[in-house]
Chain A
Amino acid sequence: MDGVRVGKRVFGTQSPVTIGWDNIPRVEGGPWKRLFFTWFQPAVLFGLLAFWFYAPNSIAKASTAIWIGIGFRVFLLALEKIAPRHESWDLTWKELATDLFYVGLGYTALGIVDHFISSDALIELVRNSYDWDKLAWFTHWPLLLQAFTIVFIFDFGQYWMHRGMHNWYPLWLPHSVHHYITQLNINKGAVGNPLELFLIGLGIGGMFDFLPRAAMMAGAIGMAIGTYQHINVRFNTPRWWRFLFNTTEHHSLHHSRDFESTRSNYANSFIFIDRMFGTCVDGEAELLGMEGGRRMSIREQMTYPFTEGWKTIKERMGRAAPAEAQAVPAE
């Protein structure tokens, strides 16, 4: 495959990818259908922001956010069935069960682990040791700015953690498991080795004080943008949206079987962070995964970082040993 040159990099030499927004198919059909798939994403974002901005205090609470989150996901699951982006990404019963297993782990086992060693638990420990009132000045900012700052702090940290995972072998090992997914569906973001899910959840946002309402708005921004990373629905995403925010297109390219393409689009919600650091590539891919699209079982996903790490250590020690043996006989 020849691939497509973008600057000094060539994409799509190992697996087909589409580069450039003009080459990406758009939703066809009647005016209502096109209207829906063009404005659905902005309408949800602005609708949620308005809701959390104006909702009375009796409604603006975490339980409301949880129910909105569940309802949104169920709606998007239905949308995947009604208007799939690729038939080859169809959500089967087995895929749904696998994805929900990881979602469940996140809410249960990882919750227990996070109770002891998450960044929030550590930050609470640090904050209880000192007087951090000086960091409370964020609460005086306008709500929307606070919400944006919360998402940006988290996203900026996640960008570097994610980029680190693709550039440093010990971090790549737990993250590699997530790259064995062969299709994007609404819950695929949860699929991965628990060690990676723990690492990617680390953040320093807990160091700062924000108003609870701003935290709700931040959650809404994260949900109304980040959710579309893994989804089997095609949208006619507006130009300004795809310039600022991560999209299915960006993230499908990141999951491509083409190695060079995977080294792009690291941000979670704000793709402009990738643009800032020169790692953003606009495009999409249908063929996803590793090793030619081998689907990894849950059992292997749980053990892979450790078994692969052990293999690598043994290989390196095996290579190092003869070198040492050669050095000794000089005596």
Chain B
Amino acid sequence: MNLLGLVRSIWTVQGRLPLDPALTRDEALARLEPLLDHYGTRTVRSGDALAYTKTDPAAQDPLATFDRGSLAIEDSGAGLVLAWRLVSKALLACFLAPLLFLAFAQTAVFIADREAASAKAHPQPEKKKPEPVLYQNPIDKALGAPAPEKPKDDKKKQGGRFKDLSPTPGYVFAGIFAALYVLGRWLEPRLARRRFRRALEGS
């Protein structure tokens, strides 16, 4: 596979499935058509091929992941085969999503750094923080709840203003979407193949 083909395979899925010799081209396509009979799907048949596009496919549409595609009956020499090429915007978006979340993480770092530098350049007079409440209600005490303690590490609290600017969630979701892409690129082509096979078998 050349480089362009490798890049295309990020969002494109291809496959072939040998047909039952007893099945004619028309019968095979007729069995596949119900797979495309879903909300928002437009299908065009030309000769021995079906092409489709989907707009806002339903969640349970069996080919919802693939926005457009073509299915063709071809003669492989050893018999008829179904060949397909499916295109998925969802796979492409999932492939790119880690970059978006890394960008959010870097934005958080950038803002936190700017605010820290600004706070250093223009130090505000230290406000006297109220002492934490260490009162325990007698009912809680009687029921055996641990008594409140003074927070041990006040140094961590100094970063409190920036606690919602941590890059960690961005990194975590970048990782989650990288894993989701691998899962989807592995799973979805297999599910499509299984659906085509079952449709052709008439099951």
Contacts and interface: CB of A to CB of B under 8 A. Distances in A.
B184 A143 contact: no
Interface string A293-327: 11111101000000000000000000000000000
Interface in B169-199: 169-170, 172-173, 176-177, 180, 183-184, 187-188
B23 interface: no
Contact of B187 (A93, A111, A212): A93
A115 B180 contact: no
Interface stretch (A37-45, A49-57, A157-165): A49-57
B72 interface: no
Contacts of A133: 130
B57 A295 contact: yes
Contacts of B59: 92, 94-95, 182-183, 295
Of the four ranges (under 10, 10 to 19, 20 to 34, 35 or more), the interface on chain A belongs to 35 or more
Tell which of A60, A182, A295, A298 has the most Cβ of chain B within 10 Å.
Answer: A295
B149 A213 contact: no
B137 A141 contact: yes
B180 A111 contact: no
A150 B117 CA distance: 35
B94 A97 contact: yes
A91 to B, nearest CB: 9
B80 interface: no
A112 interface: yes
A56 B146 CA distance: 6
Interface string B136-175: 0101100111101100000000000000110001101100
Contacts of B145: 53-54, 143, 213
A107 interface: yes
Contacts of A108: 101, 104-105, 108, 169-170, 173
Contacts of A115: 111, 164-165
B173 A107 contact: yes
Nearest to B65: A94
B181 to A, nearest CB: 8
Interface in B105-121: 105, 107-108, 111
B63 to A, nearest CB: 10
A209 interface: yes
A140 B135 contact: yes
Contacts of A260: none
Contact of B104 (A57, A60, A109): A109
Contacts of A54: 144-146
Contacts of B50: none
Interface string B50-70: 000000111110001100000
B36 interface: no
Contact of A293 (B39, B139, B165): B39
A139 interface: yes
Contacts of B39: 293-294
B130 A111 contact: no
B133 interface: yes
Tell which of A57, A90, A183 has the most Cβ of chain B within 10 Å.
Answer: A57
Enumerate the 9 nearest inter-chain pairs by beta-carbon distance, A residue then B residue, closest first.
Answer: A108-B104, A104-B173, A107-B169, A139-B133, A142-B139, A142-B137, A115-B164, A57-B149, A108-B170
Given A108-B170, A136-B133, 15 more contacts: A54-B145, A54-B146, A90-B60, A92-B59, A94-B65, A94-B184, A100-B177, A104-B173, A108-B169, A109-B104, A114-B164, A139-B133, A143-B137, A182-B58, A294-B40
Interface of B: 39-40, 56-60, 64-65, 90, 93-94, 97, 101, 104-105, 107-108, 111, 127, 130, 133, 135, 137, 139-140, 143-146, 148-149, 164-165, 169-170, 172-173, 176-177, 180, 183-184, 187-188
